[in-house]
């Protein structure tokens, strides 16, 4: 049985928000195959037992093979997961009993989240593009794909809005600079300034 601790060591204050697995219907072909391999020998049980150790061995091999096919399918289904935490995303790709690849992306690096919806049994694929990763992260053929996408979007950092700070200069500083400019100004400029000052409302 797969355990989250096998691939995830939570950071400080990190919370697991969502764990998505492939839809259970993706297991059906493998379970049917395993079931056929397990059940078929019992239809030939009489003939096999009367044909000696060779027939009995063949039946046992088919049963063991059926159990192995079903168990392997369940193991891979259980271990192929997509994890959403409050800090990052992890895609765990288990392609065999001993073969596992884990891809990770921090939430601030996510640039796009999309859903490719399949109408068969409500399956869908969530695709995530993140800066700094060579390929996209995918939650393949999961149930409730739109809900998984929504959880990711809710955790993405909001765009920071730039605030402009308005600095009001002191009256003394303005008066000093104006006086310096008036000393260099000509008669016409001084008359214009005088007119503006007389018409300006008192502050």
Tell me which residue of 107, 119, 113 sits closest to 149, measured CA to CA: 113
Flag whether 130 is in a domain: yes
Same domain assignment for residues 116 and 130: yes
Q: Are residues 62 and 85 in the same domain?
A: no
**pLDDT by residue (tens digit) across 119-131?**
677 788 999 998 8
Q: Which residue has the higher pLDDT, 102 or 200?
A: 102
Identify whether 192 is part of a domain. Answer: no
**41/36 Cα distance (integer angstroms):** 9
In whole angstroms, give the CA distance from residue 169 to residue 156. Answer: 39
pLDDT at 98 over 70: yes
* Domain of 132, in residue numbers: 1-22+80-158
Other CB atoms within a 10 A radius of the CB of residue 28 amount to 12
Domain count along the chain: 2
Q: Where does a domain end: 79, 95, 113? A: 79
CATH number at residue 120: 2.30.29.30
Tokens of 2: 């797969």
């Amino acid at each position: 049985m797969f355990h989250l601790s096998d691939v995830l060591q939570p950071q400080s204050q990190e919370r697991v928000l969502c764990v998505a697995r492939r839809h259970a219907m993706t297991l059906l072909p493998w379970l049917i195959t395993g079931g056929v391999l397990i059940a078929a020998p019992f239809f030939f049980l009489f003939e096999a037992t009367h044909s000696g150790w060779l027939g009995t061995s063949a039946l046992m091999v088919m049963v063991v093979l059926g159990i192995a096919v079903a168990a392997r399918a369940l193991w891979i289904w259980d271990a192929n997961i997509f994890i959403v935490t409050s800090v990052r995303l992890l895609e765990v790709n288990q392609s065999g009993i001993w073969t596992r690849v884990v891809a990770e992306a921090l939430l601030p690096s996510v640039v796009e989240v999309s859903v490719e919806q399949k109408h068969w049994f409500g399956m869908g694929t969530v695709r995530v593009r993140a800066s700094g990763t060579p390929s996209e992260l995918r939650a393949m053929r999961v149930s409730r794909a739109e809900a998984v996408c929504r959880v990711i979007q809710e955790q993405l950092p909001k765009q920071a809005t730039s605030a402009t700070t308005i600095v009001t200069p002191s009256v003394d500083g303005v008066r000093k600079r104006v006086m310096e400019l008036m000393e260099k100004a000509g008669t016409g400029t001084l008359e214009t300034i005088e007119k503006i000052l007389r018409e300006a409302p008192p502050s």
